[in-house]
Structure formats: C-alpha cells, structure tokens
Structure 1
C-alpha cells in the first residue's frame, strides 16, 4: 500500500487586480514567539464526488491572496527579531494517488501510514503544504501542514474554511484581521504574575524532569484514538458536577479532562507523592478585554497548569479535579494575558536569556499531560464543493503524554481523544478509560 507522489510544485497567490508589493514584512507578536516552533499536520477524508485538483489549486491560490502570511517565509529583521516576509514565495502543492479504495484503510487510525498522506514536516521553507491523495473509489484525502509560528488552530481553521469558500466560487467571508501590532505593553507595565517557568524558561538551565516511574526509561510510545459517546459524556459531566450545588455545572471539557488526567495517572502507576500537572491551551480571543475578534489571524494562546499531588488526584472524587481545572483555567484571564504581554515585551526576556517552554519535540511529558482542544474549531466546515469531510484527524504524533480532543465525525456531540502514552501505560489506560468509579 504505497502512496505515489505524482507531482510537487510551488503555487503562489492569485490576486484580483494589481498584486501588492512583495517587499513588506510582519513582525511576530509576543504570542507567536512563545508558541511551538514547528509544523503541524492534519488530515481530511472526503467521499466522492470531489472537485478536480485544478479547482483545489485555484481556490488555494485565491485564499492565499487574502491570507498572504502563509505564502511568505519566516525570517529576521535587522535587529534579529523574527518576522514573516510577505514575499509571495508560495506554498507547496502535492498530487498523489494510491491503488486501493479508501475503505480498505478505514477507520483511519493514528499510525505511521498517516505520514504518507501529507508532505514531510522537516527541513522545509514553505509555511503551508498541501497534499491531495486520490483513491481508486473516487475518495480524496487532503493532508495539510502549517507552521505554528504563523497562526494557532483557531486562525488556521478560519483559513481552511476560506479555502473551501474560494473553491466553491464564494466570496471569502469573514475576512481575517491581520493586525499583530495590537498587543502592546501598558505604560507603565504591570507584571502581576510569574511568567518564568510558565511561558518562559532559562536557556542556561537544563530542563530536568524527576521521573519516578521506571517504565519511562526506554519505553515505546504508542498513539491511540478513544471514543467518548454522548451518553458517557453526559454521565461524566453529571458526576463531575455532583458537588457543585446550585452553581453552574462544569463543562464537558472540564469533566473529560479531569477524568482523563485521573485515569492516565492511574495507568502510569506514579508515586503517590509525585506532582502531576496538565498543560491546557487557553484561547485569548474570548478572554481579553475588549474581546479580540474571532477573525484575528495569528497566535493568541497561553496555557493553564492545574497541578496536584498524585495521591490527592486519585483519592479525591472527580468533582475536585474538575474544580481544579475549571478554577485554574479561569485565572488565565485578561489580567493574566496583559501581564504576559508586559513581561514578554520587556528587556527581562533578553537579559535573563529566556526561551519559550513550548517544545513540540519534547518526547516525554510523564508525569504530566498536555491537552489541546479542537472542539470549537470549524474544521468540519471545510467544504470544497462535495460536502463536509467524513473524517478529520491530526497526523501521527507519538509524543508521550499529549492528548488532543476533537469532535467525533459522527456529529452527535461525542468526542474523540487522540492519546499518546507508553505502550504498557496505554494498555492499562484502555482497560480503565470508561470507569466511572
């Protein structure tokens, strides 16, 4: 089962009227600078009928004329600060095929096969790459890769929806907001929170993790997909909110993450007195005041780190974990975002030789977890003219301790969790992942 790459070329934005100059650039903002310096890959699958590759290519070129950053290149200005060159250098467009029907590899699970459905993520200059893979049944898989320094998941999903609109001959709407200069420090600055050890770490210190679990040494990391039905999620939410009295019930997200944190910690067999935390992405668009429009194109994410001793997490009932997650995330509010802007814009970052803590290539999170939610992103709205995708998933990322939450393709409110753990821990986790004791 070999995927054949039939063509690979660079395509550039297609403008209506006079093209803009290709000598301009955009500085990365403070949120761009602390996110993951890596390419991210996602995969879509579509039933036939599907539009020809020429339609997909033309639509992509039109979308790039609105989202010019993707067709540019990362560089640095005269002072060594990172920028995006708006030089219209273009994105990579790959055409591929495979001599099987798509249903022969369905359900598509996270595996090394996924890596053949999108271009390589290593050693590339392009900020976006697209691979269209055709199957003998007429089905189509779209592999999409994008550099995280340019945009977060929210902004990237908006771009993908715009690509679909352009392919269908529609006017791109809403238009993106490109102003990365809006995140300026206050005068005088007011750094209310500690950002060392949170968004930043010292480059001079080794990042040493005290791992008590002997299985961590040399373990094999596996990735699996776990489905949580709407019925299970309802029971989980009710259980998590059982001690909440007349207050608002905890969200499905709070409840599920508390459950996953507890069950993964059990499966890992961690020392009772060890500390474990969960790194949770927090979108600043809805938390800053005044609210940042959803159309903002760039990165606007910080993280919450609920933390607990293992013995407390395992022995306290689920509502305690849900409350800890809810309260910690709630603290990443406008005051926190403003404090971060003031700190990240100060001379302290350079003076103390600080670098971002976000590391896409950290192989092991144990005893911690990192959870990202794509539950509210409109990825299923990517319609090229033949309807919505029937599968959407991340590529294959065997990075221990990471969890990615996606809405299930079933469309009934159920959730799929893509989880990476050591092989022994995964086997134990799958035995207990639906326990509600």
Structure 2
C-alpha cells in the first residue's frame, strides 16, 4: 500500500490579504433556501489543484476581484437570520475573500507521487482563519502555494451554504475566465436569488423522506458513523478505467441498463457493507447527491449556483445487498433517483422548514460526485491541472475526475486501517463468485466489525 508523504511547512512571506469585488456591488441580505443552510452543509468545500507552472499572484488577485464582482455574496459574511435563529443568511457587505500566498520546498512531481492518498499535512496548504465559530470564517478562503520547481498548488475553501459542487465549479471557471480574458464577459450570468426554492406556506410534507429517517432497529443500537470516527482511519483510492466500469455495467445486462455512476455506486456500496461485515438484518442506506435543477418545475435558471442538489436514498438490508448481484444495488439507486420529482423536492424543502433535521448517517454510505462537473478543466492560462481533488479524505466517498481520462473515475474515501486491504481487494473484484469462495480467497473470517 502506497504510504503518503508528509509535506514540509509553508513559508508565508506576507500576511494574507483581503480581496474585495472589483467595483461596488449590491449591499443587501441574501436569503438562503432550506437546501442551502442545512446543518449538515455548514462547512467549506475544500478543493486542491496542482499546476506545472505558477500564475503571478497579482494576476490571480486581480481576476479574483473581478470574479467576486459577479459572485458578490462570496465576498460577504454569513450570519444568523434576523427572522429565524435556526436559519442563516448572507450579509452582502463586500468585505472580501481571504487570499494567502506561500512557498513550499516541494516539487509538483513529488506531490503527484503521493497524491493518491491525502494526509493531514495537506491541511497546511490552506490558510487557517482563526474564528470562534463557523460563521466567523469568510465564505471564500484561497491559498496559492508556489513550489520550488516553478509549479503551484491552489487551494480554495468555499462555503457549502452558498454553493454546491456545480455552483463552485461555475465560480472557479469564472475566476479562470477573467484570468485569461480580463475584458470578456461571462457566457453565463450568476443567478443569486434563492426564492425559487422557498417553502410552501403552510408546509406540505407529502412524501416520506427516508434520507432523514433513522431506520436502525431499536434492538441494534448501532451508529456506524460514530464507530468509524472512533477508529484510526486511512485514505484509500482506486481508479476505475472505462473498461473497468464497462465490466460492472455488463453485470446488469441484458435485463437492466444503467449509467456508469449507478453501476459504480452500487459496487462501492456493496463493497463497503461487505468489508465492514455489518449485521445481516441491518438496514443500510446509500445517500448520493443528485442535481435537481432540471427536475424542478419550472427548472432553476441557468447560472443558479446555490445548492440545487438533494440526497437520493437507496435502502436495503446488509444481507440482501451483499448476497445479490450488483444489479440489485443498481435497481435501488435508479428507483431512488426516479423518486426525486418536483413534488418530492418541494416536500423535502417543506420538511426542512418544519424540522431542521439532518440526514440519517447511522448506517449510511454517502457518495458525492465531483467528476464531470468541469472542476478538472480549471485553466488559469498555463494549462489544465496535473491533479485535482479534496484537501483531505473523509469517511464519505468521493467520485473524482481523472486528469488523463475524462471517462475514468477515482474513488476516494477513508476506511479503518485494519480493513483497507480487504476493502481494496473487493473493490477490484468484479466477479460474481459466491460469498464463501470470496471469504476463503481473501482470508477474511467475517468478524471484522461485529
């Protein structure tokens, strides 16, 4: 197993600066929808980009200032709503984003060597803003770290309450656009208003919402998230080439056609449950992000960069998932996606108005798709990145783009250290042998978890 390399410390020649919008922007309060300010989204999405050649900091600062003129809420500050202490809103005051410059005695090639497995030392690539709470951190924090080889690492932290993955990609592409074409307007205008996702009055909860409902039996007091967080976790990543994904999809034909995401999500979910050796009768869930911009009626306007996704929820027992073909999980994923109609999403928004509830993570795997959102195409004028991914690996699962192959996917997540080898073995095993034969081959006794 490849061991991660610890990064040396960063040297900061100057204190971080504040980058404000290039010109005066509207000074008002921005309403956040119930999809925006969910409690489980109160964190920053942290991206890391590695480039072979650096861009002058003054150029990046100037273009960032221009981009913030278009996406001015990112230059504001989050605060508790004056009308509802359970909700957040954005004070669009133009206070600015944090921009830090650093140098690291490290090369791009050295970073690439260890890029499959993030580790805690990567956190030094993003300037830490000292704040007493989540609300005290500016919505946008940037660090540009120049490397001894002339390369550059760009890290950004974008508050998830203001934008989802598609929205953050839209903003970052705007920043890159103004770096290479300072005087050219954006092809797509940013849409700030979130009123299209206002709840009904009174709220109308017309569907059950299993993504928020705890389904663990009372006689099995199991909280898998707490268990995982109590273990020494290490990142593991496996890249699936187009041929690998095609082999997975062929396990579903001719009776079922599926997308690459559906096949891979089913395989990862099944492998995760098998590796943890969960109680057979335990209800397990797969929660996965689904873009609903075009599922709503009317559709959300082009340029809407707020949270336009919800969590699809597939559910079954551990026994059914592990014993069945990958086709079983695919069907559940497809059914979960199919249920996300306009009425369903509106019902979810109303549920969040009535109860500030969180997703049920007690026995759930969460998958977030970062591939095929344009994140990997971020070019500031010196070419596409050599690497793109998260600043750190978490217990939830990321589907990441592969720089050299648009149709390949890297699966990244953290697992208990004692189970990494077993997880990686099953992830690479696409056959459909029976469980007994599998266990005999990998030497597992089936008692790793319970």
TM-score under structure 1 normalisation? 0.87
CA change 1:174–1:152 in 2 (3 A) is same
CA distance in 2, matches of 1:271, 1:194: 25
Q: 2:22 aligns with which of 5, 11, 15?
A: 15
Post-superposition CA distance 1:322-376 (Å, at most 9, x none): 111111121012111122233334xxx2xxxx333159xxxxx574211111123
2:379 aligned partner: 383
Q: 1:273 aligns with which of 265, 281, 285?
A: 281
CA contact (8 A) 1:11 1:61 kept: no
**Cα offset, 1:77, TM superposition:** 3.7
**Cα offset, 1:106, TM superposition:** 1.9
Q: Secondary structure at the match of 1:258?
A: helix
Superposition CA RMSD, Å: 2.5
CA distance in 1, matches of 2:102, 2:293: 37
CA distance in 2, matches of 1:121, 1:229: 39
1:310 equivalent in alignment to 2:318:
yes
Post-superposition CA distance 1:59-116 (Å, at most 9, x none): 0011001101110001134323421001011111000111232212323231123211
CA distance in 2, matches of 1:217, 1:52: 40
CA distance in 1, matches of 2:205, 2:227: 40
1:190-269 counterparts in 2 under 5 A?
190-195=204-209, 198-199=211-212, 210-211=222-223, 218-244=230-256, 249-269=257-277
**Cα offset, 1:217, TM superposition:** 8.5
CA distance in 1, matches of 2:400, 2:422: 23
1:103 equivalent in alignment to 2:109:
yes
Q: Secondary structure at the match of 1:31?
A: coil
1:72 equivalent in alignment to 2:79:
no
**Cα offset, 1:200, TM superposition:** 7.9
**Cα offset, 1:285, TM superposition:** 0.6
**Cα offset, 1:426, TM superposition:** 1.8
CA change 1:71–1:213 in 2 (3 A) is closer
2:415 aligned partner: 421
Structure 1, unpaired ranges of 5+: 202-207, 360-364
**Cα offset, 1:395, TM superposition:** 1.2
CA contact (8 A) 1:12 1:88 kept: no
CA distance in 2, matches of 1:214, 1:99: 37
CA distance in 2, matches of 1:91, 1:213: 33
1:40 aligned partner: 45
CA contact (8 A) 1:13 1:64 kept: yes
CA change 1:212–1:178 in 2 (3 A) is closer
**Count of matched residue positions in the alignment of Structure 1 and Structure 2:** 409
Q: Secondary structure at the match of 1:74?
A: strand
1:31 equivalent in alignment to 2:35:
yes
CA change 1:97–1:200 in 2 (3 A) is farther
Q: 2:390 aligns with which of 377, 388, 394?
A: 394
CA contact (8 A) 2:393 2:413 kept: no
Q: Secondary structure at the match of 2:65?
A: helix
Q: 2:341 aligns with which of 333, 338, 346?
A: 333
CA contact (8 A) 2:321 2:329 kept: yes
CA distance in 2, matches of 1:213, 1:75: 29
Q: 1:431 aligns with which of 422, 425, 428?
A: 425
Structure 2, unpaired ranges of 5+: 1-7, 215-219, 432-450
Q: 1:407 aligns with which of 401, 417, 421?
A: 401
CA distance in 2, matches of 1:214, 1:56: 41
CA contact (8 A) 1:403 1:417 kept: yes
Q: Secondary structure at the match of 1:404?
A: strand
CA contact (8 A) 1:99 1:135 kept: yes
**Cα offset, 1:199, TM superposition:** 4.4
CA distance in 1, matches of 2:72, 2:224: 48
CA contact (8 A) 1:213 1:268 kept: no
CA distance in 2, matches of 1:324, 1:236: 16
